[in-house]
Amino acid sequence: MIDSMRVLSFSHFVQGPAASQYLADLGADVVKVEPPGGSWERRIGSSGIRVAGRSVTFLSVNRNKRSIAVDLKHPDARTVLRPLIEQADVLLENYRGGALEKLGLGYEAVRAIKPDIIYASASGWGSRGPMAGRPGVDLLVQARTGLVDVTGDRPTAAGTPVVDQHGAALLAMGVLAAYARKLTTGEGTRVESSLLGAGLDLQAESLALYYSGRRTETDVRRPAELACWSIDAPYGVYALRDTSIVIALNGSEDDLGDALGAPELAGYDQRARRTKREEYTAAVARVLAGMTYAEVASRLEPRGFWIERVATYDDVRADPQVAAEGLLAEFPVGEERATVLRHPVRYDGELPGLRTAPPELGADTVAVLRAAGFSADEVDGFLSAGVVS
């Protein structure tokens, strides 16, 4: 879909690599520029989990890309990178603020080489203000944006780095918007996203309700079962005899007690469910604790209540709906196989395919430099000098 887009990606961890992977999935030619030792997610990755010696974190966010290894601190690094910048539409990076400037690859320096460049930066806290330049990772941002505070009946982090992934999607969205502008006007754009912005954006409705509704911390505190402070009970997660269940809001809940055969719930109208939220939630929890999923489903589903069993990751892998949507994919890694999530959006009914597996470090260095116009002797010289590998 964007086969003509050329991207130089100076990125590591998850936010930057995932953003460039979204673009690569859509057809962009993404060249991942890595240090000689490889990017963090290649070298280490989360939990040290590896398949055939390869970091699974790296495998999850670097498909459909090419890799070149460049020592950015070498005095000839800019000589190597200049023609690549001249041919690129996008330079995408998520180094700590100021890092690329020190290496002569900041926005102004790159724009001097390529005036219509789309220079896309992802940071932890943004480029201005007292936190600019400080380390910013998912969990720190979850804490500072209030996400930890409003999750659970006590401060609780989300179960996965949700801010990283949302930040990646927002950065990719910004690049696509800038590319549309470039195609229509010929102008480049400075695109900036941050984990701070992503962490707040995940809570757009919640923050608006809290501030505009003049709410306080008392309103946020709630029973453990309730999933969200701003949505009426019984919206939440409840333990059954054999599993756990979620009940989502689907209009009036006035007949929940009748549907469950629990007259003790019938006396709570919408006003009572709000003013006596803790009492009502405890009553619902007591009723459900004595029932199985099959019993609850047989009573609530025919009445139009929205419920779902709480799945484990093992359940997700076997889920026929996930299979029907084709959202998980396997590919060979050495003598083993890795399982990753596919691009989550369909275009004309199809999901973008896996064109190439995540690349080995520097696998494309020679080919990329030759395509950029360097002679075979020049490339050999760069390799011998240790500029590239």
Q: Cα(146)–Cα(165) distance, rounded to whole angstroms?
A: 18
Does the annotation mark 164 as catalytic?
yes
Angle ∠(345,351,353) on CA atoms, nearest 5: 130
Q: Which of the 8 DSSP states describes residue 47?
A: G
* Annotated active-site residue in 25, 89, 164, 364: 164
Chain centroid to CA 34: 21
Q: Cα(9)–Cα(33) distance, rounded to whole angstroms?
A: 6
Residues shown for the chain: 389
Q: Which two tokens stand for residue 117?
A: 């460049």
The three-state secondary structure class of 306 is: strand
Q: What is the largest CA-CA distance in the chain?
A: 85
Question: b or e along 233-264 (b: 16 or more beta carbons within 10 Å of the residue's beta carbon)?
Answer: bbbbebebeeeebbbebeeebeebbebbebee
Region of 365 please: left (phi>0), alpha (psi -120 to 50) or beta.
Answer: alpha
Sorted by sequence, the CB contacts under 8 Å of residue 108 that are 6+ apart come out as none
Query: With contact defined as beta carbons under 8 Å apart, do 298 and 240 qualify?
Result: no
Sorted by sequence, the CB contacts under 8 Å of residue 234 that are 6+ apart come out as 225, 226, 247, 253, 256, 273, 280, 281, 284
Question: b or e along 88-117 (b: 16 or more beta carbons within 10 Å of the residue's beta carbon)?
Answer: bbbbbbbbebeebeebebbbeebbebbeeb
Sorted by sequence, the CB contacts under 8 Å of residue 298 that are 6+ apart come out as none
The three-state secondary structure class of 101 is: helix
Q: Which residues are catalytic?
A: 164
